[in-house]
Structure 1
C-alpha cells in the first residue's frame, strides 16, 4: 500500500513557495514519499499595515502553527527570521538547513550601488533594522538618504524602483537567490555596515513534537553550524526582549586561521531608525558545542548592549 503524501504547510508567496519547494524535494529524496504543498494565508500576508504596527512577531507564523496543531499539515517551513524566539512545547524545530547568504542587497535604478546613490535618494524598506543602519552609514559618509516604509512581495517592492517611485529598495539576498533573481541585485551590502536580522538566510522546518519518526527524518536536513549560529543570534534577540520587527541586527560567524575553526564571533546592533544613535558591539568565544553554549553567547552580548543603552533604542518590545 502506498503511503500518503506528506503535507508541507507554506505561505502562498512566490518566495515561500520556492523555499518550501526546495525542502519538499529534499524530503522526497530522503523518504521516497511524495510531499504536497499546502498553501496557508497568514495575517502578515493579508494585512496592509507595516509590521511594527501589527506587532511583527509571529504574524507570518501563527496560521502555519495552527495548521500543525490541528493536524492539517505534517510539517511547515518558515523563514527563521520570522519565528518568535519562544518555542511552543508542542512543536519542535526538527531541522535548520544550511544557511543561504545572510546579507541584505540593494536593487537600484540605473544599476547604482549604495555609495553612488544621489543625495536624498529614496530607499524603500519595511525594516526598522535596515533603516537604522542605512541612515547611519549615509550619515557617516556625509550624505543623506530618505528611507521609505514599504510592504509587499518581492515583485511589488522591485516594482517601486521600475516605476520610478523609489531610487532603490533593500531586500534579503537569500530570498532572491532562492527565487533565481540574484541577477537583479545592484549591490551586496557588507555585513560590516548592515548586519542582517537574526536568523536571516536560514529556514526553519517545524513539526509536532510527538511525531518522532518525522523528526528523525527531517533531522537529516539539519546543518549543525547554521543551527548553533542562529541559536546565538536568536538568544541575543530574546535577551534584548525585542520582537522580530525591532531595529536589531545580529550575525554569528566562525573564525579560524585557515587551518581550523577556533572561535565564534557574534555581532549585534540596535539603533534608532534615523541612524543618529547605534549601539553596535561584538563578543568572541569558543565555538559553542551545545545549545546552551550558543544561548550563553547571545545573552553575554545582550547584557553588554543593554549596559550601553540598547533598551532605549528599540521601538518595539516583545509582548
Structure 2
C-alpha cells in the first residue's frame, strides 16, 4: 500500500511525538509520512479556556481524519476530549512517558525556594490552583506558546518559573531545563498526561484492515488501561476545560492505584479521593470500576459545588 498519512499539529513537540509514531509504524512494516494540520489552538493567542479548552487542538485533526485527508492522527491524550467523535476511535495508546509536572525556574530554584511574589506562568486552571494552594504568595500568570517560548520567558527574566510536563520536555530533549520534579502523589496531573493517542476512522480500526493491522502493533495495554481510567473519572465528573482537576494512576502487575483531586479554582480548597484495587485479573474492568468509585466519592463529597463541573469537553 502507499505510505500512511499521519496527521499531526505543526509544533515542535507535536512533530517530535508524531515522529516517534511514524517510526514505530515503519518498524511494523509500512511507510508513513507526516501531514501537518493547523489547529485553532496553534493560531489563537487567547487563553485555552476562552477558545474552548485543550479540545481546540484536536478538532482540526479530527476533521482532517473524518474527511479522508489523512489516514490516522496522533494526539497528546491529555488534549483529547473525553467525548468520542462520531465515526472515529482511539485505536492505540503507545508506551507512556513520565506523567509528572515539572518546574523550570531561574537560578535552579525549586517551588518552595521561589521568593514571595515570584511570577510563575501556566495556562492550566489545574496548575494555577495547585500553585496557589501550595504557595499563595506567588503571582501566577496566564501563559500560552510552545515549550521554547515558555522557557525563553524565564531565560529573559519575564517570568521566574513555568510549570510544564516532563513528557514534553523529554520528547524535545530539554529535560536540562527542569529544576524540580513534582511528585504525582501530591501533585496529580492532567488525565492521560504523558500518553499519546492514535485515532483512526472506525472502519479502519479492525486489525483485518491494512491500517488496523499496523496500528495493532502500537498499543501498550498497561498505559492504555491506566489512561482510560483517568479519563473516565473526568467523563463521570463531566469536567470541562476550566475544571481544575488532577488525576493520576499507577498500574503494577498485581495492584493499581487511582487518585483524583478537585480544586476550587482559586486554590483555597480541595477534595481528594484515592483507591487501590487488585488487577491480577481483568485489569481494565477493575480500573474502570475504580474510576466509577472515585468519581462517585468525589461527587458525594461535594466536588460539584467546589469546581465547574457538568461541562464535559
TM-score when normalising by structure 2: 0.94
* Matches of 1:26 and 1:245, distance apart in 2: 35
Among residues 176, 180, 184, which one is paired with 1:187 in the alignment?
Answer: 180
**Structure-2 separation of matches of 1:295 and 1:245:** 24
Farther-moved stretch of structure 1 (12-21 vs 178-187): 178-187
SS at match of 2:135: helix
Matches within 5 A, 1:158-237: 158-211=151-204, 212=206, 213=209, 214-237=211-234
Unpaired runs of at least 5, structure 1: 256-260
- Cα distance in 2 between the residues matched to 1:294 and 1:87: 20
Alignment-derived partner of residue 90 in structure 2? 93
How many residues are treated as equivalent by the alignment?
307
For residues 23-62 of structure 1, the aligned pairs below 5 Å read 23-31=21-29, 33-62=30-59
Residue 138 of structure 1: how far off its partner (Å): 2.2
After superposition, give the CA deviation of every residue in 1:115-141 in whole Å (9 maximum; x if it has no partner).
2111121110000111111221225xx
Deviations 1:280-309 (A, max 9, x none): 111111227254433322121011111111
Q: 1:94 is paired with a residue of what secondary structure?
A: strand
Q: Name 2:106's counterpart in structure 1.
A: 109
Matching of residue 156 in structure 1 with residue 153 in structure 2:
no
* Distance in 2 separating the partners of 1:294 and 1:216: 27
Once residues 66 and 239 of structure 1 are traced to their aligned partners in structure 2, the CA distance between those partners, rounded to angstroms, is 26
Residue aligning to 1:264: 256
Match of 1:15 in 2: 13
Q: Does 1:285 align with 2:277?
A: yes
Runs of 4+ in 1 over 6 A off after TM superposition: none
**1:14/1:199 CA distance change after superposition, 3 Å:** same
Deviation at 1:193, TM superposition (A): 2.3
Question: Aligned pair 1:133/2:130, yes or no?
Answer: yes
Please say if 1:145 is aligned against 2:143: no
Whole-Å separation in 2 of the counterparts to 1:43 and 1:294: 34
Residues 1:275 and 2:267 aligned together? yes
- Residue aligning to 1:64: 61
* Alignment match, 2:72: 75
Equivalent residue number for residue 258 of structure 1: none
- For the Cα contact (< 8 Å) 1:199–1:233, is it kept in 2? yes
2 CA distance for matches of 1:57 and 1:189?
A: 22
TM-score (norm 1): 0.92
CA-atom RMSD in angstroms: 1.5
**Whole-Å separation in 2 of the counterparts to 1:206 and 1:166:** 36
CA distance in 2, matches of 1:59, 1:289: 34
Shift of 1:244: 4.1
Residue 184 of structure 1 deviates from its aligned partner by: 1.1
Going from structure 1 to structure 2, the CA distance change for 1:245 and 1:34 (only over 3 Å counts) comes to: farther
Equivalent residues of 1:135, 1:274 under 8 A apart: yes
Q: Is the 8 A contact 1:236 1:302 kept in 2?
A: yes
